[in-house]
Structure 1
Amino acid sequence: MEGEITVKRILVMILSVMLFASVLSAQNALDAVRIVQDEMGFGTRALAMGGAYVALADDYTGIYWNPAGLAWMKRSQFWGEVSHLSFNNAATFAGQLTDDSQNYTRLRSLGLAFPLPTRRGSFVVALGYNRVRDFDRNLLFAGINRRSNGLSFTVDDVEYAFDRDLFQREEVSDEGGLNQWAVGAGIAASPNVTVGATLIVWDGNDDYELSFFQEDRDHVYEGRIPLGGGEFTDFHSYERNRTLNTDYSGVGLKLGALFRVTPGMRLGAAVGIPTTFTVEETFAENDLLIFDDGFEDAFEFPSGRFKYKVRTPFHFDGGLALRNRYVTFAAGLRYRDWSQTRFKVDDRLIDDPDFQALLEENRILRQDFRATVDYHLGGEVYLQGLKARLRGGYAVFPTPLENASDDLDKKFISLGISFVVDRYVTLDITYLRGTWKQTSEDEFTPGGTLEEITAHKFLAGLSYRF
């Protein structure tokens, strides 16, 4: 048919920003920050107490929170932990609310800590695998968008817009996390002071998928494109699919100290040395344009790989713990200046346009991001008759964006219980509930979304002491 031959001559011409975004979609200031932004750590006891663990850390999980705490261990410990996350995202787009929930189950930690013989004092070594940061999230929204996204196509040298008053639907998913393969040690420097260090090998991945769809449900676009022979057609729908698989690697170091001020009071401090992450991305993208007469035009964009480096800033942890035989109270904080996050560009690549764009992102990091202080509070009560411990906590993770609303801060409440199964085995159960808001917008959906997120996380940990 003559019309079909004409339609096959379509040249898909989309705004160049879309092509640029497909290559550099994870290479911007915000995504450099997010590598470690939501790093919550691990440990059922620590997280049940709101992450206020810097001045405690007297078990295997001290390898993450404060390696100086390892020196207070008297027995060897094998530790295992799993987590289950239910991520609920209520997104409002173009006045339409869409609620979406996904579940993610992960191995959280597997490790061993053991004291070594010493003439005096204490020397404890720990090693293991720990997942300390989740990328897991989901977003689904739909609605009639009256705004223009600039989308247009050229048929027989005539450009036709397909950009506004359309039903739009978008689904975004992230799955992955950051892991630490760590070796740590704590040593008693004096009867009341311990120090420690943890050497960290980072690895991780993030599998990102975006699926965008728009459709002329209200028949706004009708009969503009001539097919010949008096026949006309127009655009029916457009679909765009994008994947970005990212791998992270790096080497880090954490140093810590614990001070026993009185038998019932401890002070803890730790510092995380800046880590340079190597980031390797593999991206792919395709689209599908469908016409009213049923003709389909598919296009596969060139796939590719990109490699770059991001240096994270120092972080400083401090904490206080008050305890007796039955009650423990703890408080902690973490300071980090996100404006010191940097893309690292080799001098040999300084003239490459892609890497020049990364240097521009460094300027944005300096101007649009700020220092934050995370707050952590927690407590624990020992129920002697039940051989159990009840725990509770609260934590606030402020947004790193300059002049941003407090609604973007992430707030968590936590509860936990620990059962002594026998003289060797302890079972811990922890629940966390996090709430926050965020906005998002991409080149396909102008106007963006307002997201109200509720995260429910359950953790189970098993400790074997010997």
Structure 2
Amino acid sequence: MSKHLCIPTFVICVFAVSVPAQEVALDSFSGIGARAMGMGGAYISVSDDFSGLFWNPAGLARIERGTVNWGVSHDRFRNISQFFDRSSTLELRSTRIASLGFVYPVPVYRGSLVFAGGFGRNQNFDGGLQIDAYDTIANFDKAGFSEDKGALGAWTFGAAIDLMPRLSAGISLFRWGGTNRFLQELTLEDVQRVHADTIRIFQRFESEERYSAWGIQGGIRYWHPTGFQFGIVATAATPLRVSAELADEFEDEFEDRTDTYPRESFSDAYEIRQPLTFGMGIGWSSGGLTVSGDVHYGDLQEITYEILPLNIAPNVDDFRRQYRSAARLHLGCEYVISHWGIAFRGGYYRDPVRYVGGGSVPEIQIETDRDAWTLGFGTELEKAVTLDFAAVIGGYKAIEGNRADRVRAVRVLASARFYFFTGL
């Protein structure tokens, strides 16, 4: 085998211990709605604003005033990676439109009929790592980084109706879409002159992936005069279509020459069959206080590639082995001081990391599972505008091979609801 074929393969194998080969769109919950996330995402039994299209469309039936909704999010990601005897930090920041939509209650004599539509982002792909240390296994000084930047959202339209005085049902249709840009650079340098003639190896790889799928969600919500409330949702989606544009380049420096391999670009596409997901929430409201709890479950081990990529190896060899099944849990509360027109919120959620590797890639040991604490605040101005704010602070710790990651993520959300009145 010629030299220029060996070196790139070696580079990729060495960096495999630093970059998990996973499908980022399958395990990237970030939530939607400042009020909902202020309550820790425990919103299935509430869902009485625009974000209910994503949490439980049946909750829309509670809305009595029409609204136009707007939201923005700011995300900060930090990963402190300990690789051999050194630690390095990667930080990412992004600000995005989180939601834009409307809610329209149809004037009816009895019961409720509500339509809603718009756009919302509820998955954030931002993440990565940075390393700068001497690899005693490969005998190279190793410096580089990898990062993902992107998000997934949906255009959606839904409706809710009262089936009985205390029971409502709703449905949402989604057109999912999003992008993720992955960039990886790695430099290996033989600072101790261990290798025969190789002085330095450089690799750069980048890809831009575009996602698209259709989805549907149905839900019911029940409430009792004692304040008890209950909700169930089920979500299904067509296979997630992924279109990828990829490029790589290499440079190898030897004692007597430098070989530069030209940039190579190529395209690919594949489809991922997604599992059914289910959610259940219970809550209780009395005297301005609302307490709620949710559980969401979708078995990622059921995922398969509907259509395989043609030009690249699949990111995941075995979903059943490299992903674990886990439920996402949410707890939250809200206290409304009605005569002041303000509300205080708090919550917690636990969202276990699903990808654990194994097989042809290193296994990942989860030391501290992914979770987050949330705080929120809302105020109504002149009964015409409601402003909501939330902060989500979370993270996790994991070990992969000779690298330990300590991830911290902070998300700040702000939203506004502008009311318009409908009536008979």
Give distance in 2, aligned partners of 1:20 and 1:453: 24
Give yes or no for contact 1:97–1:141 (8 Å, CA) kept in 2: yes
Could you report, residue by residue, the CA deviation over 1:363-401 in whole angstroms, capped at 9, with x for unpaired residues? x22344333211100001123454211100000012335
Match of 1:379 in 2: 333
* Larger CA deviation: 38-47 vs 308-317: 38-47
SS of the aligned residue for 2:37 comes to: helix
Match of 1:218 in 2: 192
Give distance in 2, aligned partners of 1:89 and 1:19: 23
Structure-2 change in CA distance of 1:401 and 1:359 (3 Å): closer
Per-residue deviation at 1:72?
A: 0.8
Give distance in 1, aligned partners of 2:306 and 2:73: 34
Match of 2:132 in 1: 142
Give distance in 2, aligned partners of 1:122 and 1:116: 7
Pairing partner for 1:208 from 176, 179, 182: 182
* Larger CA deviation: 10-19 vs 93-102: 10-19
Per-residue deviation at 1:241?
A: 0.3
SS of the aligned residue for 1:407 comes to: strand
Give yes or no for contact 1:213–1:240 (8 Å, CA) kept in 2: yes
Give distance in 2, aligned partners of 1:116 and 1:288: 64
Could you report, residue by residue, the CA deviation over 1:310-369 in whole angstroms, capped at 9, with x for unpaired residues? 011011110011112321101011011111111103xxx8xx9869x75993xx223443
Give distance in 2, aligned partners of 1:86 and 1:392: 20
Per-residue deviation at 1:260?
A: 1.1
Identical columns (%)? 26
Give distance in 2, aligned partners of 1:252 and 1:172: 31
Could you report, residue by residue, the CA deviation over 1:209-254 in whole angstroms, capped at 9, with x for unpaired residues? 0000112233445xx5xxxxxxxxx433221000011110010000
Could you report, residue by residue, the CA deviation over 1:50-98 in whole angstroms, capped at 9, with x for unpaired residues? 1100000011111100000111100011111111111110001112111
Give distance in 2, aligned partners of 1:146 and 1:19: 15
Letter of the structure 1 residue corresponding to residue 405 of structure 2: E
Letter of the structure 1 residue corresponding to residue 181 of structure 2: D
Give distance in 2, aligned partners of 1:300 and 1:410: 40
Give distance in 2, aligned partners of 1:268 and 1:45: 18
SS of the aligned residue for 1:71 comes to: helix
Structure-2 change in CA distance of 1:18 and 1:186 (3 Å): farther
Match of 1:328 in 2: 290
Per-residue deviation at 1:207?
A: 0.3
Match of 2:4 in 1: 12
Pairing partner for 1:407 from 349, 352, 367: 367
Per-residue deviation at 1:29?
A: 10
Could you report, residue by residue, the CA deviation over 1:155-188 in whole angstroms, capped at 9, with x for unpaired residues? xxxxxxxxx2x21111111111111110011111
State how 1:164-313 maps to structure 2 within 5 Å: 164=139, 166-221=140-195, 234-292=197-255, 295-300=257-262, 302-313=264-275
Give distance in 2, aligned partners of 1:29 and 1:143: 19
More strand by share: 2
Give yes or no for contact 1:275–1:313 (8 Å, CA) kept in 2: no
* Larger CA deviation: 261-270 vs 180-189: 261-270
Match of 1:31 in 2: 22
Q: Does residue 314 in structure 1 map to residue 276 in structure 2?
A: yes
Structure-2 change in CA distance of 1:99 and 1:401 (3 Å): closer
TM-score when scaled to structure 2?
Answer: 0.89
Structure-2 change in CA distance of 1:401 and 1:302 (3 Å): closer
**Structure 2: any 5+ residue segments left out of the alignment?**
357-362
Structure-2 change in CA distance of 1:285 and 1:30 (3 Å): closer
Q: Does residue 428 in structure 1 map to residue 388 in structure 2?
A: yes
Letter of the structure 2 residue corresponding to residue 12 of structure 1: H
Q: Does residue 59 in structure 1 map to residue 49 in structure 2?
A: yes
Per-residue deviation at 1:462?
A: 1.0
Give distance in 1, aligned partners of 2:217 and 2:45: 15
Per-residue deviation at 1:129?
A: 0.8
Give distance in 2, aligned partners of 1:36 and 1:420: 36
**Structure 1: any 5+ residue segments left out of the alignment?**
1-9, 149-163, 225-233, 441-446
Structure-2 change in CA distance of 1:80 and 1:18 (3 Å): farther
Structure-2 change in CA distance of 1:377 and 1:126 (3 Å): same
Structure-2 change in CA distance of 1:404 and 1:262 (3 Å): farther
Give distance in 1, aligned partners of 2:263 and 2:129: 24
Q: Does residue 40 in structure 1 map to residue 30 in structure 2?
A: yes
Larger radius of gyration: 1
Structure-2 change in CA distance of 1:408 and 1:342 (3 Å): farther
Give yes or no for contact 1:343–1:359 (8 Å, CA) kept in 2: no
Letter of the structure 2 residue corresponding to residue 13 of structure 1: L
Structure-2 change in CA distance of 1:353 and 1:44 (3 Å): closer
Give distance in 2, aligned partners of 1:171 and 1:405: 21
Structure-2 change in CA distance of 1:70 and 1:309 (3 Å): same
Give distance in 1, aligned partners of 2:316 and 2:128: 29
Give yes or no for contact 2:160–2:168 (8 Å, CA) kept in 1: yes
Give distance in 1, aligned partners of 2:8 and 2:130: 26
Task: Give the count of matched residue pairs.
Answer: 409
* Larger CA deviation: 40-49 vs 381-390: 381-390
Match of 2:360 in 1: none
Give distance in 1, aligned partners of 2:316 and 2:298: 22
Give yes or no for contact 2:22–2:316 (8 Å, CA) kept in 1: no
TM-score when scaled to structure 1?
Answer: 0.82
State how 1:90-129 maps to structure 2 within 5 Å: 90-129=80-119
Letter of the structure 2 residue corresponding to residue 338 of structure 1: L
Give distance in 1, aligned partners of 2:295 and 2:102: 27
Match of 1:416 in 2: 376
Give distance in 1, aligned partners of 2:12 and 2:85: 29
Give distance in 1, aligned partners of 2:214 and 2:11: 33
Give distance in 2, aligned partners of 1:276 and 1:131: 19
Letter of the structure 1 residue corresponding to residue 159 of structure 2: A
Give distance in 1, aligned partners of 2:167 and 2:248: 56
Letter of the structure 1 residue corresponding to residue 304 of structure 2: R
More helix by share: 1
Per-residue deviation at 1:31?
A: 2.4
